[in-house]
Structure 1
């Protein structure tokens, strides 16, 4: 598989284009302000869109999902525990939601015409069928939100995990927002810490890293190991 990342104008959320060996593309975390750029890239490269995925339901990671889903007539895939957030993208964030609405001059989010929920489990990654030739796995890692999900793919033979807002370079996602759970986050980090060190990490914000690098320098992952 091939990965290409685009940084969203809204809070710098990382949008990831996952492209398989048959030039089919799934877009993970279409944050605020990325839609036009993603449409241009996909059209220029001649890729075939098969779906949009969300690592979790926070609006800075789903803002432009509905636009892409409508343009391509594809579903939005999200863990069933976070699907409720799509109908109330600001209200489910508590006070932060109102702040985001006020700070952005972007066109407001629109609901995708079709939502495909799934029930990935926390015990281990499971294959998720999104219409791609190469395997994509979903791993339920709650804590930041109830339905937070990591996606695992192989890029040039190297396993790569898209962690959303569970794990960042040097730190982790918040657990103090509605739906956050500190204990669940600790369990999720323990599971991530068990991955081989060579696994590459693409977080929902900030630079890429690896499990090995985070076990050396990230106090939260080290504590969970």
Structure 2
């Protein structure tokens, strides 16, 4: 199995394409501007996409998910608790308060980051094919086994950054989205974030992963659990 990384120009969000030996593949976190590179990779290697996964519903990780899902004819898969974010990516970040449909704040940092890369903040397309897992009202859902093509991926609910934040586990790899970074963790001050829940996730979900687990975060460099348990101040103090 190979992991191909495409980094979005918007906040450096990290999109990972998981490619199995038989050509099956899954896209994790399709941020803004990654679609062309992902489609080129799929065509060049004659890959067979099975899904577009989202570690959580924040728009810097899902901007291209809808269009990529349509282009590849595969579903967008994420935890049920974050599905609501896909319909109103800016409003659910608290940039405009509540909103009935896709909205944007043209003066906000997210909209400015999109514009700087040539992306129109009003051009967002919500996914039409969404396959949620887990339960909306669970503080901690049970693991879900996702069988996607030849890939068997464990989805482990890890709320705190958002209600539906999820770790995707594949062998010795953990795709952590904005739950865990090298030397840091995801913020909890945005709508849907909750510090006490994040602390529980770090203690009961993240810190209990095998030390040799390789962490592929949603932003920044790859790391591993052993390193983070010693050097990440948010884990070292647990």
Give the TM-score, by structure 2 length. Answer: 0.88
Alignment counterpart, residue 203 of structure 1, candidates 200, 217, 231: 217
Task: Give the Cα separation in 1 of the matches to 2:181 and 2:41.
Answer: 26
Following TM superposition, by how much is the alpha carbon of 1:186 offset from its aligned partner in structure 2, in angstroms?
A: 0.5
Instruction: After superposition, give the CA deviation of every residue in 1:62-82 in whole Å (9 maximum; x if it has no partner).
Output: 000011111011110010000
Say if 2:24 and 2:151, in contact at 8 Å, map to a contact too. no
SS at match of 2:237: helix
Task: Give the Cα separation in 2 of the matches to 1:124 and 1:80.
Answer: 13
Q: Which stretches in structure 1 are left out of the alignment for 5+ residues? A: none
Tell me whether 1:143 sits opposite 2:153 in the alignment: no
- What pairs with 1:1-225 in structure 2 (closer than 5 Å)? 1-95=1-95, 98=105, 99=108, 100-105=110-115, 106-107=119-120, 108-119=123-134, 122=140, 125-129=143-147, 131-154=148-171, 159-190=172-203, 191-224=205-238
Following TM superposition, by how much is the alpha carbon of 1:42 offset from its aligned partner in structure 2, in angstroms?
A: 1.2
Task: Give the Cα separation in 1 of the matches to 2:40 and 2:219.
Answer: 22
Q: Which stretches in structure 2 are left out of the alignment for 5+ residues? A: 97-103
Say if 1:21 and 1:134, in contact at 8 Å, map to a contact too. no
Task: Give the Cα separation in 2 of the matches to 1:63 and 1:164.
Answer: 14
Instruction: After superposition, give the CA deviation of every residue in 1:73-105 in whole Å (9 maximum; x if it has no partner).
Output: 111001000000000011101138631124422
Task: Give the Cα separation in 1 of the matches to 2:170 and 2:18.
Answer: 9
Say if 1:127 and 1:136, in contact at 8 Å, map to a contact too. yes
- Deviation >6 Å, runs of 4+: none
Instruction: After superposition, give the CA deviation of every residue in 1:157-207 in whole Å (9 maximum; x if it has no partner).
Output: xx1100000000000000000000001100111121111110100000000
Say if 1:144 and 1:185, in contact at 8 Å, map to a contact too. yes
More displaced, 116-125 or 141-150? 116-125
Task: Give the Cα separation in 1 of the matches to 2:215 and 2:46.
Answer: 27
CA RMSD of aligned residues (A): 1.6
Task: Give the Cα separation in 1 of the matches to 2:143 and 2:207.
Answer: 14
Following TM superposition, by how much is the alpha carbon of 1:124 offset from its aligned partner in structure 2, in angstroms?
A: 5.8
Following TM superposition, by how much is the alpha carbon of 1:125 offset from its aligned partner in structure 2, in angstroms?
A: 3.7
